[in-house]
Structures are given as C-alpha cells and as structure tokens.
Chain A
Amino acid sequence: EDQVTQSPEALRLQEGESSSLNCSYTVSGLRGLFWYRQDPGKGPEFLFTLYSAGEEKEKERLKATLTKKESFLHITAPKPEDSATYLCAVSRQGAQKLVFGQGTRLTINP
C-alpha cells in the first residue's frame, strides 16, 4: 500500500530562520511527487511536481528536492506569509489518484 509520512507535524520558526520539511514515501513505481500549500479554510494550492530522484524545483523562498525514499521542502529566510500547512502527495505509475500525507503546519513568527 502506498504511504506518505510527513514530519514534523508542526514547525514554528522565526522570520528569516531557514529549515526543511520532510516527506517520506513508499510507493510501487513512483510517477510523481507533489507539494501543495494550504491556507486555513482554503483548498490546497499546487507548488511543485518532482518526477525522479535528484530533481530539484524552486519557487521564491521554496526549494523541493527528491530522493528515492523522501522529498524535502527547504524554506530559505521565511516570512510570516509563508505560514501555512504544506502537503506532500505521491502518484504511482498507472494510477490516477494521489496519496496525501498528513501535512506539516508551518508558522513563521515576525
């Protein structure tokens, strides 16, 4: 069974304090790994897709990386507006659905 585990569950940082969120996955034949951002009471917002180990993608203060077992979302010099829940999901080859992790709730204090 495909599984996604995110850690930590919650993370509180000071503005400017860089850190990383982890997404460990078990899937038979990875087709893609996805990162989403979700603000309270809203739908998830798509950030990145990673397809193969070694791939990296960047957007503003966020960088996502992928290995054969896990993905990291690195946040560099975060600002309070980066506060949100970050969700990781995987899709296996031949399947339509995404399997989501529980998310990491990130809080950036000014």
Chain B
Amino acid sequence: DVKVTQSSRYLVKRTGEKVFLECVQDMDHENMFWYRQDPGLGLRLIYFSYDVKMKEKGDIPEGYSVSREKKERFSLILESASTNQTSMYLCASSLYTSGSKYEQYFGPGTRLTVT
C-alpha cells in the first residue's frame, strides 16, 4: 500500500512566523504535490515536483516555497505566515509522469491555523 505521511495533523502558528510542513512517501514515487483545501474553493495546487531538486508552480504559489532534497521528502515552506494561509494542507504523490500509473495518493492533511 502507498503511504504518504505528513509531519503534523494540527498546527497553530503566529502571523509572520516561518512555517515548515513536511511530507514523506514510502513508494519511490517520482512526483509529489502540495495542495490547500478551503470550503467553497476546493483543492488548489500550490507547487509540485517531478524530480529531486525540481519544482514547478501550481495555481496559487504566492507566499509559499518548496524544497525537495530527497526523492521521498517534499517540504512546503510558508516564508511569513499570514491569516489567509489558514487552511487544510494536503500532500500527494504519484508514480509515473506518463503511462497509466499516475493517480495521486494523498496524505492525511495538516490543519494549519495562523493567528
């Protein structure tokens, strides 16, 4: 079974703090993704990575950065947290960039509250 784990289930941070969210997958997947999920807005892609040290912006990258130093680990960084970044953050991974095996598998999510 694919397993995607996220470092925290719940996190409370203050405005202006630097925040690190970590994601680890154990199935040697090539692609990893960070989404946020908000009521009424659905799932929105922040960043994704298709290889170590490679990254691409998603639909809403402003205020975020990412790091992928090892294949199994993908970190999301909020450089200076703001209240509008309060959200559920979801990490996902997928195996192939082409062919049939590219469904994404999600972690349990991190509920981040910025006060």
Alpha-carbon gap, A36 to B37, bound state (A): 14
B42 near A91 with CB under 8 A, answer no
Is B61 part of the binding interface, using a Cβ–Cβ cutoff of 8 Å?
no
Residues on A with C-beta less than 8 A from B59 are 97
A97 to chain B: closest residue by CB: B45
8 Å CB contact of A51 from B90, B100, B106: B100
Q: A49-B103, A96-B50, A96-B97 are in contact. Are A42 and B108 (CB under 8 A)?
A: yes
What is the minimal beta-carbon distance from A87 to any residue of chain B, in angstroms? 7
Closest to A93 in B: B98
A100 to B45, CA, bound (A): 10
* Bound CA span A89–B111, Å: 22
Q: Which of A1-50 contact B (CB under 8 A)?
A: 31-32, 34, 36, 41-46, 49
Categorize the interface residue count of chain B. Answer: 20 to 34
A42-B108, A103-B42 given; A96·B103 CB < 8 A: no
CB-defined interface of A35-76 with B at 8 Å, one 1/0 digit per residue?
A: 010000111111001010000000000000000000000000
> Whole-angstrom distance from the CB of A86 to the nearest CB of chain B?
13
Residues 87-106 of chain B, each 1 if its beta carbon lies under 8 Å from chain A, else 0: 00010100001001011111
Given A96-B31, A103-B42; 6 other pairs, CB 8 A cutoff = A41-B111, A43-B109, A46-B106, A91-B102, A97-B58, A102-B42
Q: Can you report 19 A-B residue pairs in the complex whose CB atoms are below 8 A from each other?
A: A34-B103, A34-B104, A41-B111, A42-B109, A43-B107, A43-B109, A46-B104, A87-B43, A89-B43, A91-B102, A96-B31, A96-B48, A96-B50, A96-B56, A97-B45, A97-B48, A97-B58, A102-B42, A103-B42
**Chain A positions near chain B (C-beta within 8 angstroms):** 31-32, 34, 36, 41-46, 49, 51, 87, 89, 91, 96-98, 100-103
